[in-house]
Structure 1
Amino acid sequence: MSVVSPDLLRQFDLSGPRYTSYPTADRFVDAFGADEYVQALKQRRAGVASMATPLSLYVHIPFCESLCYYCACNKIITKHHDRAQPYLRYLELEVDLHTAHLGKGQVVSQLHLGGGTPTFLSDDELRSLMAMLRRSFTLAPGGEYSIEVDPRTVTPARLAVLAELGFNRLSFGVQDFDPAVQKAVHRVQATEQVFSLVEAARQLDFESINVDLIYGLPRQTPESFERTLAQVTHLRPDRVALYAYAHLPERFKPQRRIVSADLPTASDRTAMLAQSLVAFEKADYVYVGMDHFALPDDALAIAKRQGRLHRNFQGYSTQPDCDLIALGVSAIGRVGPSYSQNAKTLEDYYDHLDQGRLPVIRGMALTRDDLVRRTVIMALMCQGQLQFESVELAYLIDFSSYFAAELQALEVLAGQGLVAVSDSGIEVTEQGWFFVRAVAMVFDRYLQADRNRARFSKII
């Protein structure tokens, strides 16, 4: 990993999509609803979409006991744990509606519990949820089964329950170890608690342990964040996800509690990112891409070396492209050439299911152009290279004609040493890999049409 120059980091301090999908979720339309989604499920069962496409599950647990001010997730703040039981009953109704269209026993190679706070559920509730999923789907041996964990909500004994239930990957939300920063974002957790939980997870033989960090939070400084980085590299999780905080208080109400004057300057943000790259390189982490780092023997780093990276709504993955069944309020899924999103409030979610309807309220059926561009963007985001011939054969196009404007736009990035364009393909350089989102954005027809990037996070 060659650490990028601060000048380039400053130059690309821009906003843009994360490309966990293409087109991105902000392009979904209300005209795609439950009926269209049911048709996609039927096509999958009939083999029209793709008989061999593996299946992945995402379950959204929206409840949190306390509010983190930086959060942009769909969540419900409550200390009333009795709200979980009716939610689990409705999840089962949603699963039953899916199996009515797909059939029971579909093989699942990847499962992710996200939120909110999945560990808001009690041990017995988690057991009930997993038993329900296993009754309806077949969880493949050797699959990736992950759960997001708030360190404030678990003990080593609870981690043992997660291992017993079949989870083999954990993601701990840390964000920052500095007490002043934690207080400013209303998420106070002791460093010692995180260290003891990670050690307990190692003793339980979890295959991969991830830690989430955020830079750009209130009260952060390059000096304070350097201390957090030192603690994280000493903790040595298998993976680190380093996100840039996107301050969008007009869109996310919790962020209005953050004092804008406490946010670090653009130059300090750039300094924190630069020192993060240096710190993880010195600690022998592999830069997987965008905001992901992994130890060399982690499955994600191995997939990067072998050119087997994939990308889904949770970020980079080692699993091949999957159809994704999304369960729970606001969850986003993908089946065949379509995306879908569930109702965003509990009331709407419950109401749809009470009527015996899947709770899909919006989505998108991809056009041929969407599929072509998705192939190009995902190849660049995951493999860092693209052969024109492979796209031409798959979609019967002439690449240089179809993407004439995009290839011309790439010349600017090529002049900056971020990509190399030849007669046969495009290759993202070592420096360019740090700015791969900027490369992908060139091929985003929707983004180029409206140029409205204020709703996105920073690309670095």
Structure 2
Amino acid sequence: MDKDLLFKYNTPGPRYTSYPTVPYWQKTPPTQASWQNLVKNAFSISNQKEGISLYVHLPFCESLCTYCGCNTRITINHAVETKYINAVLKEWSLYFSIFGNEKPVIREIHLGGGTPTFFSPENLQRLIKGLTEKAEIHPKAQFGFEAHPGNTTDEHLMALYEVGFRRISIGVQDFNPIVLAIINRHQTYEQVAHLTHKAREIGYTSVNYDIVYGLPQQKTCYMMETMFKVIKLKPDRIAFYSYAHVPWIKPGQRSYTELDLPDADKKMAIYETGRNALELAGYKDIGMDHFALETDELYIAQTEKRLHRNFMGYTDTRTRLLIGLGASSISDTWDGYIQNEKRVEDYYKRIATGELPIAKGHELTRDDQVLRRHILNLMTNFETSWRQPEEVCDEVYKAIERLAEMEMDELISIEPYRLRITETGKAFVRNVCMAFDARLWEDVPQSALFSQTV
């Protein structure tokens, strides 16, 4: 990658799992009644046509991985499992009352964290059975979960397989013991290898690895060794993403300093080492930070231009209604978002009163929806167009003006009613999306808010 371009465009920016991004949601969240109406409308459109998606946030971890930017609760007290599952199932019952007499058709379930496998196999089965017992399962349903190799057992794999799970995402991050030590991550290559082989032996059809570049103490040679081991195990897909250093949001990251992080040149060398290794091994570049084998459904979805991106990242499944359950989970009706209370105690209190635990949210304007469509197109297909009236607003033309310099740098190509990101420009897709982010331009942050774009 051209170093001059890297230094020029490596600025703080959103990762665009939504538009508007969470910091720019309206100050007053939707009321209980208005959110229920948004859910009801989305359900009526989504359920019979494509089904609905569920994301369940399971925040508990036995120890803090200091690099992590997720909403977590650190404890070794596994007695919390029952109370939390009860609360999630009660929240689900509140949504059932919105659906009316029509059974929800579940197209997708994803368990995220935290550490989902903090929960016992028995409790995870109870959770999934509670979510699905009064619902229909879509014939093309896809159930997946995030697995920590240090505590995911064969019993976890079997229990989740028995209730429909066929996808597993393993948090590898890095195989180097020096890097793992400084981020307080306790796992071994042998554990990852066993988990991968056992999942495939049981019948899981998709294995993903999360790999992070830019971690403290990480070096190019460490990444080369990590990728050698990754390629040997041959996961179907890989999320290869940049470490987001946001100690003002995640105090755990203050256990090391910026001096422990690779500088911009070294970080890019680490990335290029990993990327080149993956491409040589036959992995294809999918969207931003993702790679997949040609046999993987994510790659197929991209070639068929049906790749989707939401709060869970890239997926080949698109539903209009995504319901987030559990503390800090985010729900999406396309016309609006809400996020649940982040603190587990606040989440419990709201559920106990029989109300949806809405902490913040946003109802999209027409301009929001137009810009969201373009940003989603760029993040999934690296191009967008604006030929139809529903694809145009004044902010689209302002975005094109803002992109003049990126066009001069040959990072994008602008044609009549169409914008395409070049091969070189793909590394800067977040910067291109920022040009369409009207709310960001209206209120440019005066302090640290986002991680670096590259």
Same fold (TM over 0.5): yes
Distance 1:5 1:109 in 2: 42
Structure 2 residue aligned with 1:90, among 87, 91, 97?
87
Q: What does 1:225-264 align with in structure 2 at a 5 Å threshold? A: 225-264=223-262
Q: CA deviation at 1:267?
A: 1.5
Distance 1:220 1:333 in 2: 35
Letter in 1 for 2:418: G
The structure-2 alpha-carbon separation of the partners of 1:427 and 1:234, relative to structure 1 and needing over 3 Å to count, comes to same
Deviation per CA, 1:137-158, whole angstroms, max 9, x where unpaired?
Answer: 3221221111000011112343
Q: Any conservation in 2 of the 1:6–1:271 contact (CA below 8 Å)? A: no
Letter in 1 for 2:63: S
Q: Any conservation in 1 of the 2:48–2:105 contact (CA below 8 Å)? A: no
Deviation per CA, 1:421-444, whole angstroms, max 9, x where unpaired?
Answer: 111311122222222111111100
Distance 2:42 2:303 in 1: 32
Q: Any conservation in 1 of the 2:12–2:452 contact (CA below 8 Å)? A: yes
Which residue is 1:332 aligned to? Answer: 330
Distance 1:207 1:433 in 2: 29
Which residue is 1:365 aligned to? Answer: 363
Q: CA deviation at 1:105?
A: 2.1
Q: CA deviation at 1:12?
A: 2.9
Structure 1 residue aligned with 2:119, among 106, 121, 139?
121
Which residue is 2:151 aligned to? Answer: 153
The structure-2 alpha-carbon separation of the partners of 1:18 and 1:402, relative to structure 1 and needing over 3 Å to count, comes to closer
Question: Secondary structure of the equivalent of 1:111?
Answer: strand
Which residue is 1:191 aligned to? Answer: 189
Q: Percent identity?
A: 38
Which residue is 2:263 aligned to? Answer: 265
Gaps of 5+ in 1: none
Gaps of 5+ in 2: none
Question: Secondary structure of the equivalent of 1:146?
Answer: strand
Q: CA deviation at 1:46?
A: 5.5
Q: Any conservation in 2 of the 1:208–1:238 contact (CA below 8 Å)? A: yes
Question: Secondary structure of the equivalent of 1:389?
Answer: coil
Which residue is 1:75 aligned to? Answer: 72
Matched, 1:437 2:434: no
More displaced 10-residue stretch of structure 1: 154-163 or 18-27: 154-163
Which residue is 1:8 aligned to? Answer: 5
Q: CA deviation at 1:30?
A: 4.8
Deviation per CA, 1:231-264, whole angstroms, max 9, x where unpaired?
Answer: 1122211111112112221211211212433222
Matched, 1:450 2:443: yes
Question: Secondary structure of the equivalent of 1:168?
Answer: strand
Question: Secondary structure of the equivalent of 1:413?
Answer: helix
Q: Any conservation in 2 of the 1:409–1:442 contact (CA below 8 Å)? A: yes
Question: Secondary structure of the equivalent of 1:386?
Answer: strand
Which residue is 1:387 aligned to? Answer: 385
Which residue is 1:419 aligned to? Answer: 412
Deviation per CA, 1:253-311, whole angstroms, max 9, x where unpaired?
Answer: 21121243322222111111111221111111100021111111100011111211111
Deviation per CA, 1:395-424, whole angstroms, max 9, x where unpaired?
Answer: 5x4x6x653322122221111111111113
Which residue is 1:19 aligned to? Answer: 16
Which residue is 1:374 aligned to? Answer: 372
Deviation per CA, 1:321-370, whole angstroms, max 9, x where unpaired?
Answer: 43111100010111240000001111111111111111112100011110
Distance 1:54 1:242 in 2: 29
Q: CA deviation at 1:71?
A: 1.2
The structure-2 alpha-carbon separation of the partners of 1:141 and 1:53, relative to structure 1 and needing over 3 Å to count, comes to closer
Q: What does 1:194-209 align with in structure 2 at a 5 Å threshold? A: 194-209=192-207
Q: How many residues align?
A: 451
Which residue is 1:407 aligned to? Answer: 400
Q: Any conservation in 1 of the 2:374–2:385 contact (CA below 8 Å)? A: no
Question: Secondary structure of the equivalent of 1:153?
Answer: coil
More displaced 10-residue stretch of structure 1: 240-249 or 51-60: 51-60
Matched, 1:112 2:106: no
Distance 2:395 2:152 in 1: 52
Which residue is 1:280 aligned to? Answer: 278
Q: Report the TM-score, using the length of structure 1 for normalisation.
A: 0.93
